[in-house]
Amino acid sequence: MTSNDALCRISPPSMSKTHLLWVPHAGGATAPLFKHFRGLSTSRNAPNSVSLWAVRMAGRESRFSEPLETDMDSLVESIATETEQTFDADDTLVLAGHSLGALIAYRLTIRLLEKSSGPSRVKGLIVMGASPPNQWTQNRDWLDWDDDAFADELDRRYGGLPAGLKQHPDALAMFLPIVRADLKLARGVATVEHPTIPVPIRALAGAEDHVANRAKMQGWQALTSAGFSLRVLPGDHFFPVANLSKVLLTAETLSGDGG
């Protein structure tokens, strides 16, 4: 079992058969997970029964030269294929997604369940900082605005435009097409079918997140027939990486390794 460019192993190789597969937010990359996991690995309380992996989207890091994804179904199918090729049949998987990544992780869960010929290896879905898909905003014309207006609107909605990017136009010009393409993946999502999945959903909300607050995230309960819980953690919309240990513990519990 080895990493590839699309599915990246964050934690060191281990004998664990339980894996958390993390799908980042729009414009997100794997570098923050590597950084926080290194810090977490020195803690005595760090979960050691779950291996951490992440989806690395096209157009960033080692996949910088690849064309950006533009179609949700095609993206999900490609990740599902990579997942089947990477993990063994007896592995346990928990999927986690942040913001747009939660939508992708939900769709990926559905696809992996469809492709499974026996008991599914997917044991749970963790959604973080994301409204359920039927509540996603339909008016997304702002995604087609010019770069200056788009950057301002992105910062106003999500508060996630790093200060360093604003001060470096060249870096901003490289970042904006990536996040713009990622967000376009969700166009029309509210009008398609959203099946109920037979695996538990654990929703994590940021206490100061004004994008997807606790009330909005409660809507994920309608999308599972196998149990739901909602927990509020410290932080704004970008709370998940800083709360990595809690996400890993949630995955551990879902997999059955946490008691």
CATH at 208? 3.40.50.1820
Residue 170 lies in a domain: no
For residue 12, the surrounding DSSP H or E stretch is none
pLDDT of residue 259: 39
Please check whether residue 53 lies inside any domain of the structure: yes
pLDDT of residue 46: 62
Q: What is the DSSP string of 98-161?
A: ETHHHHHHHHHHHHHHHH-SSS-SEEEEEEES---GGGS-S--GGGGS-HHHHHHHHHHHH---
The pLDDT of residue 163 is above 90: no
Selected residue with higher pLDDT from 161 and 142: 142
Question: 226: domain range?
Answer: 7-136+190-255
In a domain, 125, yes or no: yes
Over the stretch 101-159, which tens digit does the pLDDT of each residue have?
A: 999 999 999 999 998 876 678 999 999 999 999 888 766 788 889 988 988 888 888 87
Tally of domains within the chain: 1
- In this predicted structure, the answer to whether residue 258 has a pLDDT above a threshold of 50 is no
Task: For residue 12, tell me if it sits in a domain.
Answer: yes
Residue 22 lies in a domain: yes
Residue 180 lies inside a defined structural domain of this protein: no
DSSP one-letter code for 35: H
Asked if the structure places residue 194 within a domain, the reply is yes
115 to each of 111, 158, 237, how far by Cα in Å? 6, 35, 33
What's the pTM?
0.92
184 domain residue, yes or no? no
